[in-house]
Amino acid sequence: MRKKAGACCLMIVAIPFLWGACAGETFVDARLKLPCDTTDECPSGEYEDGTECIEGYCECPNPDEEACCEPGAAFNECERKCRPAAECHVDLCTTAEDCAGPVDSRCGNARCVGGVCRLEITKSLVQLDGDCKSRVCDPTGRILFEEDPTDVFNDANECTFDTCMGSESANTPYSAGRSPGSAARCDGAGRRVECVADDDCGDPAIFCSLQGSCVPSWCTNGVKDTVGGETAIDCGGPCDPCAVGVACESDSDCIEQKCGTNKKCTAPECDDRIRNGSETDVDCGSPSCPPCAAELKCHAHDDCESGICRTGQCWLASCSDGAQNGHETEIDCGGTCQPCPLYLNTGADERP
């Protein structure tokens, strides 16, 4: 049996083993600890039970005591106080219906074990891949975030080392040369390239350009070789593509794959139907472009509409992906998913 306390007060409920925190209308088993920031948040005044805020929970200052009802008290005559622990171990329930569940319903269920209310807390929650954090349930059934150095984000890039720096993911470029994990050549800035040195091209007449491509020797001589197909000095044609604002004849002459009507390479845009700039797929997935739909390429969660990027591809939003997406009002709840715990719908300031 659960009862809700009033909206503006902290009160003892007419059942000895439950009491409500009015601010968020959440309930805590009397055998467990009520979360707090200061002792003022623990029962006081007319309903003072003797607990103090110790390390984030309302606890009896005497470690040999627990806050519970007077032994043998009727359900409607509960006076919850710090009492010797032995006095608190009495029958308090007959079925799970008599017990308060966890603060967050996603953390488990209430159980009546031998007449005593207990919480069955789940040991596993759906996690957001690669955010360097794990969601865990504390003893009262609240979801907390803990740093997890093993939860690295895989950006599907052979030229970066994936790791965690505290609670933030990091994808650090390998040094120029071969990737430690594959046969790829890396330019030292996180890009896979054709070469990093002239010897990689396998022909003394072919040179490695500044952009990491194997090109004819004239593409590195500092002269505009029109006969060789260059549209500007050492770029265009068979050479490296040219930068924005440099002369071109076709889209392939330009780094951004766009040769304007004025025969100069133009800047990328989010509606030019070309994957260019910092986009991860065509016209999407960069800080300046809209996020990408499911199944399109990505390098980070923010590149995707769903907020879920796994091994370089965006995934559809779901009610069990560890992220707030789709029509959810919180992580994996609300909207078309399961209802959120009551405290999640009352405002951030009222959360336990």
Domain boundaries, the chain: 1-152
- Exposure string of 99-138, with b = 16+ CB inside 10 Å and e = fewer, is bbbbbbbbbbebebeeebbbbeeeeebebbbbbbbbbbbb
pLDDT over 50 (residue 9): no
The more confident residue out of 20 and 191 is 191
Considering the chain, what is the average pLDDT of its residues?
A: 81
Per residue in 313-350, pLDDT (tens digit) is: 999 999 988 889 999 988 888 898 888 876 554 443 33
DSSP state of 6: P
Q: Is the pLDDT of residue 277 over 50?
A: yes
Q: What is the pLDDT of residue 35?
A: 80
What is the pLDDT at residue 47?
64
- Summarised one tens digit per residue, pLDDT across range 126-177 is 888 899 999 888 877 888 889 999 999 999 899 999 999 988 899 999 999 9
Q: For residue 46, give both structure tokens.
A: 């007319």
Nearest C-alpha neighbor of 237 from the set 216, 212, 221? 216
**Phi, psi (deg, nearest 5) at residue 136:** -130, 160
SS3 state at 107: helix
Question: 146 burial class (0-12, 13-18, 19+ CB within 10 angstroms)?
Answer: exposed
Block residue for tokens 């005559």:
77
- Note the pTM of the prediction, 2 decimals: 0.62
Residue 198 has φ and ψ, to the nearest 5°, of -60, -35
Residue 32, pLDDT above cutoff 60: no
Q: Give me the percent of the chain exceeding a pLDDT of 70.
A: 82
Question: How much is the pLDDT for 58?
Answer: 86
H/E element, 297: none
Report how far residue 322's alpha carbon sits from residue 27's, in angstroms, rounded to the nearest whole number: 25
290 token code pair: 């809209």
Residue 183 has phi, psi (to 5 degrees) of: -90, 5
Mean pLDDT on 77-99 = 74
Residues of the chain above pLDDT 90, percent: 47
Is residue 195 predicted with pLDDT exceeding 60? yes
Q: Encoding tokens for residue 119?
A: 């919480």
